[in-house]
Structure 1
Amino acid sequence: MAHRALVIAMLPAIGLRVLAVLGFPPAILFYGDSFAFMKEELTPGTARPSGYSLLLALLRPAHSLTLVTVLQHLLMLGLAVALYALLRRRGLPGWGAALLVTPLLYDEFMILLEHMIMADAVFVVLVTAAVALIVWRVTPATAAVGGMLLGLAGITRTVGLPLLILTAAYLLIRRYGWRPLVALLVAGAIPLGAYATWMKVEKGKFGLTEADGNFLWSRTMSFADCAIIKPPERLAVLCPTMPVEQRPYPPHWLWESFSPLLKVPGTANRNQLAGEFARQAILAQPGAYLGSVATDLKQLLRWERTAADEKTPYKLPAAERPISASVRGVAEAYEGGPAATRVVEPFAGWLRAYQRFGYVPFPLLTLALVATLAAALVRRRWDALLPGLAALALIASPPFLAAFDVRYVIPAIPLICLAAGLTLTRTDRTAPAEPREAIKVA
C-alpha cells in the first residue's frame, strides 16, 4: 500500500477524536467567547470579528453542537491529509510525509480546539490551506482561492490579516507576475470589504472590530508609567494606579472591574482613546514595551505546556460545567436543548490522561521553526519561507499587540510542519518559469 504510513498514523488520531466526541458531548464551551459566537442575532463583533459566527449560523438549523465539533475534527484530519499529499508530491517518502503531519494529528491542544466552540480550528484550516495552495502551484486561480481563504481567515481572527500582506509580498518578491498578485489581493479584499461594510452599516464605522486599541492598551499595562508618558488630560483617565510589579496579566485589564478602561463611556470612543494612549506609551517607553514582549516570548522556552495544578481554561474538564443563567439561553437555543459540557467516563478520563503528555513542547517547536527558516535560506528553498514566516508572524504578533497565550501558538504548528517538509525536498518546484531565450535569426 503506497500510503500505509499515513493510514497507520491516521487511525489512532481518529480514535483520539472519537474519545473527545464520546467523552465531552456536545462540545467544550469557552467562557465567554463561545456564547458570543452562538448568539442568534448576527452582528459584527466588538472584541473579535464574527466570521466564525457566520459559520455557526449556517449550521444552526441542525441544532447540534456535536455537528460543529465533528466538522472541525474532520477539517483538521483533512488538512493533515492535504499536507501529506503535498509533501509526497514534492518527493518525500510516505513515512517522512506522515511523520511530518503527526503534530497536527496528535497534539492534544489541536484536538481540544477542534472540540471547542471557538474560531481557532477553522482559522488554522483556512490559513494553512491558503498557504499550502500557494506553495503547491502559483496561478491566478490558486492565488485567488488562497486570497479568498486568507480574507476569510481575517474575518475569523484579525491576526490573519498580516498573512495576506505577507503572501502578497512573497508573490511580488518572487516575481510571479501581476496576475496572481492582483488575483490574491482582490479575492482577499472581497470578504474583508464585505465585512467592513457590514460593520459600517451596523455600527457606523469601517473596520473589523472595535477593540484593537483596547487590546494594545492592555499590552501597555505591563509597563506604562504615566509620569514618563505624560498623557494629555483626556487620556489620563486610562493611567494605571497599581505598581508595575502588582499588575495582572494584560487580558485582565480588558474585563475586570478595576480596569480604568471601563471608566470611558462609549465603545468606539473607548477604543479610540485606548489606542491613542497605547501609541503614546510605546513611543515614550519603547524599551519597556520590548521588554514586556520579550518576557512573554520567554514562555516559548517552557517545556511543560500547563502544570498539573495550574488554573487554565485549556484543560479537559473532570466534571460537568454548569452554564450561568445569563448565557444558558444562548447555548440551549443553538443546541435545541441542554448544552452544558457533559463528562462521560471512561472516555473523558482516557483523553485527560493523554493531555498530560500528548503535545509538542514549545522549545522543540521553536527550535524547529528557527532551524527550518535557517535551512530554507541556506538551501535556497524559498517556497519553505512562506509557511515558515507565516508561522513566525502568528507566534510573534500577539505579544506585540495584546499578550502571549498558549492558544495563539497552536495555529503555527501545521505551517511549521509544512515548512520543515519543504526544506527536505530536493528542489523548489514553485519557482517561476524561466523566460525562453529569443531565437536568434541569422
Structure 2
Amino acid sequence: MLSLLSRHRPFAVIIALALLVRAAVVLGYPPARLYWGDSFSYLDIALDLRPEPTLRPVGYPLFLRALAPLHSVAAVAVVQHLIGVATGVLVYAVARRRSAPAWAANAATLPGLFGEGFLRLEHAILADTLFVFLIVAALAVVLWRTDLGHRAALAAGVLLAYATLVRTIGVLLIGVVIVVLTVALLLRRRGLRPLLTFAAAATLPLACYAAWYGTHHGRFAVSGADGVMLWARTMTFADCAKIRPPADLAALCPNGTVTDAASEYVWHPESAVNLLPGGAFANNDRARGFALRAIAAQPLDYLWHVAKDTSIAFRWTPEPHPDRTTPAFGFAHGRWDLPGVPLVERLRRDYAPDIGAMRSVSPYADLLIAYQYAAHLRGPVLLAVLVAGALRPRRTLLPWAAAMTLLVGPVAVLDFDHRYVLPAIPVACLAAALAAVRRPTQLAFTEMSGFIASRKPSQDVARLKAVKGA
C-alpha cells in the first residue's frame, strides 16, 4: 500500500482533499437533501419494491433497499460521497492504465471530485451519483485491456443494464457501445462474440424488468413516460399545419400554452397532454406517436432546438433553465422543511428516523458557500475538454461518444438541465486524458477506442521497440 501511494503521491493528496471537502458537506448540511417528489418516491419504492408506472425505474430504489439496515439517510449520503470518490479513482486508474500522463490523469479527476454540483448530488437522495459511477465503471471495464474478453463484455453489459434501470437515458449508451464495438470488430476483422456477449448482458436484464413492468401495468416497457417527455420536447417548435396529425392525435397540437422550457410542458396543468382524459402519462403512447410525427415533419426545427438548448452548458455563467430552477451554486444558508404528509411519517418510521429538514451548519456551510464559486466547472472549460477529447478519435472514440451522448441525449428526448450535464463531465475528462497520450503514429490505428486489438499486448511492445529503433 505504501509503495502504491508513493507511486501516485499527487493523486493520493487529491483523494485526501476530496474526502475532506465531503466531510465538510456532511457536517455542514445534515442529515441529507430530500426533494419532494423524487426522493420520497425512491424511498417509498425501496420499501415496497415494484415497477413505478411513469418516471422512476427500480435501479436506485434497489440501492436504497440495500442500505435500509443503516436506518439513516445521512448514512446513505455518506455512502454516496464515497461512491463519488470511487468514480474519481476509476477515471484516474483507467487513464493511467491507458498510458495517459500523470498530470492529465490527475486533472481528469478534478471536476468530478471537487465540483459543487457533484457534491450536492452526492448529498441528496437522488439517483445521479449511482448512475455516474455505473457508467464510468462500465467504460473502465471495456477500456482496461486492449483485448476485450467475454468476461469484460459481460460485466460491462450488466453494469450498463443496471445504469439504465437507474436512469433510462442509459439505454442510449448501450447503443453507443454496440456501435463502437461493431466498428472496431469489423475493422479488425475479428469475430462478433464479444459484441454478442455485451449485447445479451445489456439487454436481457432490461427485458426481464420490462416483463415485470408489464405484469403490473399491461405493457412491455421500462418506463411509462418516454412518449410524454418526447412530446414535451416537440412543443418548442411543433407546427400542426406541417405535421398534419391524424384526428386521434390532433388534440396534442400546441394549444396556446407557452412555457419557458420544454420540460415544463410535462407539468403545466393547461398543456395539451394534461388536458387529455386520464392525464399525461395515461396517454404516453399517443404522445409518442405525435412526437415522432412532429420530428419527421420538422427535422431541422427539432435539431435546431436540441442544439440551442445544449449550448446552455457552454455558457460562463450558469443560466436557469427553466427559470424556476437553481442551476448552480446551490450551497446556501437556511433550513429546508419537509411537507407534513403521511408518506413522510411512514418513511421516517419504516426507513430512517433521521428523515427531516436539512439545515446549514456554520462554519462548514460558510466555507462551502464561498468554495462553490471557484469549484464550478465553467461552460467554456467543458467545451475545451470535449474538443480535446475529440482530437484523437482512434484513442478516445468510446469515452468521447459516451460523453456526447450523456450531454445531448437528455436534451434530445426532453430538455436541458444543469443536473443532467454532470454525468458527461467525468467521461469527457477521461477522453481528454486519453487524448494526451503520446504514441508513435504507426501504433495509433491499433488503439481503436483503446480496445479490441488483434494482437497480444506483448506483440505491441515488440512493435513499439522496433518503431523506436527505426
Relative to the length of structure 1, the TM-score reads 0.91
**Cα distance between partner residues in 2 of 1:10 and 1:211:** 39
Could you say which residue in structure 2 is the equivalent of 1:162?
A: 172
Match of 1:319 among 334, 338, 344: 334
**Cα distance between partner residues in 2 of 1:228 and 1:306:** 32
Deviations 1:149-182 (A, max 9, x none): 0000111111111211211222222125323212
What secondary structure is seen at the aligned counterpart in 2 of 1:105? helix
- Please say if residues 233 and 414 of structure 2, whose CA atoms lie closer than 8 Å, have aligned partners that are also in contact: yes
- Please say if residues 31 and 354 of structure 2, whose CA atoms lie closer than 8 Å, have aligned partners that are also in contact: no
Could you say which residue in structure 2 is the equivalent of 1:402?
A: 414
**Cα distance between partner residues in 1 of 2:82 and 2:355:** 24
What secondary structure is seen at the aligned counterpart in 2 of 1:154? helix
Distance change (3 Å), C-alpha of 1:338 and 1:119 = closer
Could you say which residue in structure 2 is the equivalent of 1:372?
A: 389
Cα drift, residue 95 of structure 1: 3.7
Could you say which residue in structure 2 is the equivalent of 1:53?
A: 61
Written as runs of structure 1 = structure 2, the 5 A alignment for 1:28-427 is 28-39=33-44, 40-45=47-52, 46-137=54-145, 138-175=148-185, 177-242=191-256, 246-266=258-278, 269-305=282-318, 311-313=324-326, 315-326=330-341, 327-329=343-345, 331-333=347-349, 334-373=351-390, 375-377=391-393, 380-381=394-395, 384-427=396-439
> Which segments of 5 or more consecutive residues in structure 2 lack a partner in the other structure?
1-5, 440-446, 460-470
- Please say if residues 84 and 98 of structure 1, whose CA atoms lie closer than 8 Å, have aligned partners that are also in contact: yes
**Cα distance between partner residues in 1 of 2:23 and 2:281:** 44
Cα drift, residue 248 of structure 1: 2.9
**Cα distance between partner residues in 1 of 2:301 and 2:99:** 47
Cα drift, residue 298 of structure 1: 2.2
What secondary structure is seen at the aligned counterpart in 1 of 2:358? coil
Cα drift, residue 9 of structure 1: 1.4
State the identity %. Answer: 38
Structure 1 range deviating more: 394-403 or 225-234: 225-234
Deviations 1:360-411 (A, max 9, x none): 11221122212311x213xx32xx1100000011111122110011111110
Could you say which residue in structure 1 is the equivalent of 2:14?
A: 9
What secondary structure is seen at the aligned counterpart in 1 of 2:57? coil
**Cα distance between partner residues in 2 of 1:230 and 1:182:** 41
Could you say which residue in structure 2 is the equivalent of 1:433?
A: 454
Cα drift, residue 122 of structure 1: 0.5
Letter of the structure 1 residue corresponding to residue 130 of structure 2: V
- Please say if residues 224 and 281 of structure 1, whose CA atoms lie closer than 8 Å, have aligned partners that are also in contact: yes
Deviations 1:175-200 (A, max 9, x none): 25323212211211232122112101
- Please say if residues 2 and 94 of structure 1, whose CA atoms lie closer than 8 Å, have aligned partners that are also in contact: no
Cα drift, residue 123 of structure 1: 0.4
How many residues were matched structurally? 427
**Cα distance between partner residues in 2 of 1:257 and 1:140:** 50
**RMSD value, Cα:** 2.1
Structure 1 range deviating more: 58-67 or 154-163: 58-67
- Please say if residues 236 and 262 of structure 2, whose CA atoms lie closer than 8 Å, have aligned partners that are also in contact: yes
What secondary structure is seen at the aligned counterpart in 2 of 1:124? helix
- Please say if residues 48 and 211 of structure 1, whose CA atoms lie closer than 8 Å, have aligned partners that are also in contact: no
Distance change (3 Å), C-alpha of 1:324 and 1:353 = same
Deviations 1:17-68 (A, max 9, x none): 1111111111112332111111032221212322111111221232211121
**Cα distance between partner residues in 1 of 2:184 and 2:296:** 35
Cα drift, residue 93 of structure 1: 4.2
Letter of the structure 1 residue corresponding to residue 261 of structure 2: Y
What secondary structure is seen at the aligned counterpart in 2 of 1:27? coil
**Cα distance between partner residues in 2 of 1:239 and 1:317:** 41
Could you say which residue in structure 1 is the equivalent of 2:462?
A: none
- Please say if residues 221 and 247 of structure 1, whose CA atoms lie closer than 8 Å, have aligned partners that are also in contact: no
What secondary structure is seen at the aligned counterpart in 2 of 1:265? coil
Could you say which residue in structure 2 is the equivalent of 1:440?
A: none
Cα drift, residue 96 of structure 1: 3.5
Structure 1 range deviating more: 108-117 or 229-238: 229-238
Cα drift, residue 318 of structure 1: 2.1
Deviations 1:337-371 (A, max 9, x none): 44221221221221122122212112211222123
- Please say if residues 6 and 95 of structure 1, whose CA atoms lie closer than 8 Å, have aligned partners that are also in contact: no
Cα drift, residue 311 of structure 1: 4.9
Cα drift, residue 291 of structure 1: 2.4
Relative to the length of structure 2, the TM-score reads 0.85
Could you say which residue in structure 2 is the equivalent of 1:439?
A: none
